[in-house]
Amino acid sequence: MTNTSKNFVAIIIAVVVVGSGILFLTNRDDSTGNNSSANELTPEQSITHGHGLAVDVVDPNKLYIATHNGLFVLIDDQDLFRIGKSTDDYMGFSLHPIEAGTLFSSGHPRDGGNIGFQKSENGGFKWSKVSDGENGPVDFHTMAVSPVNPNLIYGWYRGNIQRSTDQGENWEIINSDLLPFQLVADSQDENVVYAATQGSGVMVSRDKGISWTTLSPELETGFVSAVAIQPENSKMLLIFSEKLGGMGKSINAGTTWTRIDEPFAGEVVLYIAFSKLNPNVVYALTLENKVYKSTDEGETWT
């Protein structure tokens, strides 16, 4: 068994055992944190337990990394900072697709419990709770904001996909059958949303998350840990797939896939993020908390 396959198996076991998210990534330490809203960036050397990845909507050289221990930003691919003083666990994390500095999150506060659904309007320095979600306070382990309609947001909590049509003020449960590792909304059609799953490849919904079908028989029965859609061309998808043995790319909306020769050396990619301003730029975050970058739509990586 290859290292990549072993890591896929480890993730699958964690999903099955936990049933509500990948908690093997969230072993909490004993250090204390606070929720100061001070607008400061603190230099850091590394991250642990990455839970989300997003490129700033107006600056392709600014990469947000949500973690078990707060929110970080990588600037110009070399300078890593903690945003503010919060050390909360952001299990769910998304950017507003249009408004720079507007961020959404969910997860666990440092002092225990669940965050619910919250919003920041100043780049993650200060957060305000928007709602508890359905049967909450929720701890969304994956979230997706529609790039076409930012009022449309999805979240997964305790076996249920929830949907909001008013930017998180109100939520409804729309599906209880899917076990998604990741939810990603289509970049061109607000009705379409994708799910990377632990045993069904990539699933797709064309009715805003209510019903789901297999996107590609080629990926069926395999684990997919990450999926991303090119912001200007929704027929181009990048995934990290057990069946493909690593990173794969489709240019026909998932009908066929091409395996990409990448340098991940057996590491499993957990998150993939395109830059909206410059879609040639793509980042990937691995299980080992390493960040990789592509400047040619995912064809080559460093």
Contact 120, 100 (CB under 8 A): no
pLDDT at 7: 59
Q: Say if strands 180-185 and 172-175 run parallel, antiparallel, or are unpaired.
A: unpaired
Contact 227, 248 (CB under 8 A): no
Query: Per-residue pLDDT tens for 64-102?
Result: 999 999 999 999 999 999 999 999 999 999 999 999 999
Q: How many Å apart are CA 232 and CA 132, to the nearest integer?
A: 33
Q: How many Å apart are CA 115 and CA 220, to the nearest integer?
A: 34
DSSP conformational letter for 146: -
**Whole-prediction pTM:** 0.87
> Residue 138: which of 92, 72, 102, 99 has the closest Cα?
92
For the chain, which ranges sit under pLDDT 70? Answer: 1-38
Record the tokens describing residue 295, joined without a space.
């400047």
Query: Per-residue pLDDT tens for 10-29?
Result: 554 444 333 333 222 223 33
> Residue 247: which of 198, 297, 288 has the closest Cα?
297
Q: Is residue 16 classed as helix, strand or coil in its secondary structure?
A: helix
pLDDT at 17: 36
pLDDT at 2: 55
